[in-house]
Chain A
Amino acid sequence: MNLDLRVISKCIRCGNCRAVCPVFEEEGWESANTRGRIMIIKSLANGHNQSPEVLESLNACTTCGLCIENCPAGINPPDLVEVARRELASLGIMTEVQVELHRNILGAGNTFGERLDRLAWLHDRRVLKKKADYIYFAGCLASFRNPEISSKAFEILSRFGATVLQNEQCCGSPLIRTGFDASPLIEHNLREIDRVGAGAIITGCAGCYTTLKNDYPSQIDIISISEFLADHLQEMELRRLNLQVTYHDPCHLGRMNKIYEKPRQLIEAICSFEEMVTNRKDARCCGGGGGVRAGYKDLSLRLARRRLDDIPQGVDCIITSCPLCLRNLSDVSNDKKVMDIVELVALSME
């Protein structure tokens, strides 16, 4: 297997990751912990145990990156996990869920295998421009599962001259996270982006953000919607809302790309804000990422419930800036509304 033993062996098995791995906290087995995963990856690199059994460990990682923050040796375990998943997938060692995801995305251009119009949320296609400075990249979840959010996001961004891609496809994040090659999607989206000639892409999805930012060629600016809106506060007519909210840092926006302040600036411009118990680089994962919601829904929702324990008292709702976090937290939140940051801005603009 093409796994770099030098990188893997930097892990000295100190176990610092044990203190923070959210999956381990739920499951309790060493194989559900970052250290165990690295030991399994090392065994794979040494040619041992290349069996589907290892997927139970490797595929249950949300790639949240809490372990990166806590690793004294400076290892990036989610990267190792993704490489191992890719190597295993290349040998045909993968779960049914991975197979289905792969089929859906490469067959229909979206995570769900939907054959419906991806731009169905767009009420009037005449607003689309052939050329624009900004592209709003909606992503699969917002396009097919949260069309009202894409619609609101675009309504706001179109005031700043944004357009959307005529034929946007999945950014490739779910494929990359679960061990597949996403280059056909990347090449397709790049052609679409080139056609518009925009200088920047704005996205409201943390998964799309990190993929566009880190897996696409770097000649184009990638901006998260909360960054963009926070930078244009003066140009929006926001009214103050009588709400007390908290903010859930999506792992792939916060820890992976260090976007912590702008979402908070935006929220504080609209309503009262209080931090969750763990926040910023220490923010607990919602449990949805890395293919865990798709592959291990029960585990994913248990992780989401743990995240709700971090909500401070007295808040009316939880704001986040990722449709996957939104879905996972919403699924387990009984008494607190979970809202996308775009919805909060739209509410303030009403």
Chain B
Amino acid sequence: MNRNLKFICLAPVVIYALILIFFPLIYILFISFQTSDNYGGIIYVFTIYNYIRIFDPVYLKVFFNSAIIGLFVTLACLLIAYPFSIFVSEKKPHIQKLLITLVLIPFLTNSLIRTYGWIVLLRKEGIFNTILESLSIIDNPLSFMYNNLGIFIGLTYTLLPFMILPIYNSVSKIDKKVIEAARDLGAKPLNIFFKVIVPSTYSGIFNGCIMTFIPAIGMFFIADLLGGGKTMLIGNLIKNQFLVSRNWPFGSALSIFLIIVTFLLVRLYKKLGGKLDDLGGF
């Protein structure tokens, strides 16, 4: 392909990335060092106050809560996605395709709408409680939502595909012969799993964890809808700075901080010897 043609083909992507990703990011980085006025405006005076403010105990508590919920959600997704991926990878190719398509189908519906769907299932007079009561398993309705459990259920449901895809990707790449070799060398099933299968899928596990953990602490509408606004995650905090408190500089600083944390996690993984070959976007 000649150079001009190459340039023309790449141009839309480059323009898209510049206008919708790169410039906005630069702008966010820029205003995170500016001062806010009391009416939601930005005063163009350089300050690092926004970054210092992040370490205020009030906000640290938000980070801590987010991290805890994020970790639980990530762990739950991992524990569901891993066995599922192994199950799928052992099926015939066309069944594998079907199952993975089924995993992707929820993406056809807006995730906000799907979250509303969960309200129907989880609320006090909801389907779950009704069924459990009619089966006389419980006497009084359980509180599935408007608490951290609701956030946990909602996030785990929404983010599960992001865990399944990278893990399935690396699990399905394992050469069956390697597992046979382990059996042949005398490894029992548990050893095969922990010494051969899991280590060969570290990159998929890490990728899935990142893809789950970061959105988990950044998604605000699930915490709003299913958590009843009681628990604030980083995502809610950032949203509030932009839409409620109208403090764009502080919101920007929080966003940049979240990006840095993500970046450091990836670096850490690389340093631990991880390969990024199926990390795709990173």
> Are A and B genuine complex partners?
no
